[in-house]
Amino acid sequence: MGMHILFVADALEDFKVYKDTTFSMMREAQRRGHRVAACEPRHLQWVSGGVVRADVRELVLTGNEDAWFRETREAAQALKDFDSVVMRKDPPFDSEYFYATHLLEQAEREGARVFNRPASLRDHPEKLAVMEFPQFTTPTLVTRDAGAVKQFHAEHKDIILKPLDGMGGTGIFRVGPDGLNLGSITETLNHEGATTIMVQRFVPEITQGDKRVLVIGGKPVPFSLARIPQGSEIRGNLAAGGKGVAQPLTARDREIAEALGPVLAARGLLLVGLDVIGDCLTEINVTSPTCFQEITQQAGFDVPAMFIEALEAAMAQPVAG
């Protein structure tokens, strides 16, 4: 029996379909006989005494890369009337994203099935979430205090500093043993003590890539996408010019994914993207993990199929009380 799936995402007109993960999910859903619809978070509405609704676009995917979808109808619909709602809005995790999770959580109370679970999206800030699993991370400090950063640098010598809300590698700095510019970089990132930042001991294996390990329904995808920095760049992020190379999971990648997978899946996180550099977990991405198409094309493993199968399986389970 086909499902009616609502994707809450960015504007469809902005999708780069040759690499977009949400598009690959939609395509696989339609291939399996499910109906696909979409809206943006700005289209969510909740009138007191009523249910959470959205101005929704019903879609048929055309298979044509330029005009990739046809809109069959647009109408206000209650989220609870869909079989499942897939939240795929990209960061930033700003106030608007935060409010969207509250509206989605209300829709859940009304009977909607939302993935990833809205409360868990709020509870797992993508950089802070690694702190729960120190056995897998490089030494890490979260602070506003410039003195604490200086002390951390004195102990670890070669460090990375980054904002907690960055995406695609923005705002990442490395400071080596000479401590050059540590003070000004700290001030820039923490806005002179007003903003919390993350500081980590540098992991030299970044030269082999920042690996994206996907975990779907608690189980690891058997291939990662290693995003390899180019030239003198320290950031592997594809958005920062990194080169994506699919490769089988290492024993350590698998160990991390198998340890975290069931824990995160039990919290309603159907899809998680772990970032691993060398043997160290550096981020847990829960908002809109990507790399489906790159892994599928390079490794031949059908990631979108694994995701839609996991969504189907989740829908077959009774709602957790």
Q: Looking at 53, 162, 201, 211, which residue is catalytic?
A: 162
Is 127 catalytic? The answer is yes
Question: Do residues 3 and 309 touch, judged by C-beta distance below 8 A?
Answer: no
**Distance between CA atoms of residues 271 and 120, nearest Å:** 12
Q: Looking at 27, 127, 201, 211, which residue is catalytic?
A: 127
Q: Looking at 89, 227, 237, 294, which residue is catalytic?
A: 227
Cα–Cα distances in Å, from 269 out to 76, 90, 265, 282?
A: 27, 16, 5, 18
**Distance between CA atoms of residues 116 and 99, nearest Å:** 15
Q: Looking at 27, 235, 237, 253, which residue is catalytic?
A: 235
Is 42 catalytic? The answer is no
Is 145 catalytic? The answer is no
Place of tokens 């979108």: 304
Is 212 catalytic? The answer is yes
Is 190 catalytic? The answer is no
Q: Looking at 190, 201, 285, 294, which residue is catalytic?
A: 285
Question: Do residues 44 and 96 touch, judged by C-beta distance below 8 A?
Answer: no
Helix axis angle, 292-299 to 303-316, nearest 10°: 120
Is 70 catalytic? The answer is no
Please report the beta strands in the chain, taking only residues with DSSP state E, as ranges in sequence order: 4-8, 35-39, 44-46, 52-61, 69-78, 84-87, 114-115, 140-143, 159-163, 173-175, 197-201, 210-216, 219-220, 223-228, 243-248, 271-277, 280-285
Which one-letter DSSP state was computed for residue 177?
T
Is 181 catalytic? The answer is no
What values do phi and psi take at 234, rounded to 5?
Answer: -100, -5
User: What is the total residue count of the chain?
Assistant: 321
Is 243 catalytic? The answer is no
Cα–Cα distances in Å, from 277 out to 31, 49, 173, 206, 208?
A: 35, 49, 16, 6, 8
Just list the catalytic residues. 127, 162, 212, 227, 235, 275, 283, 285
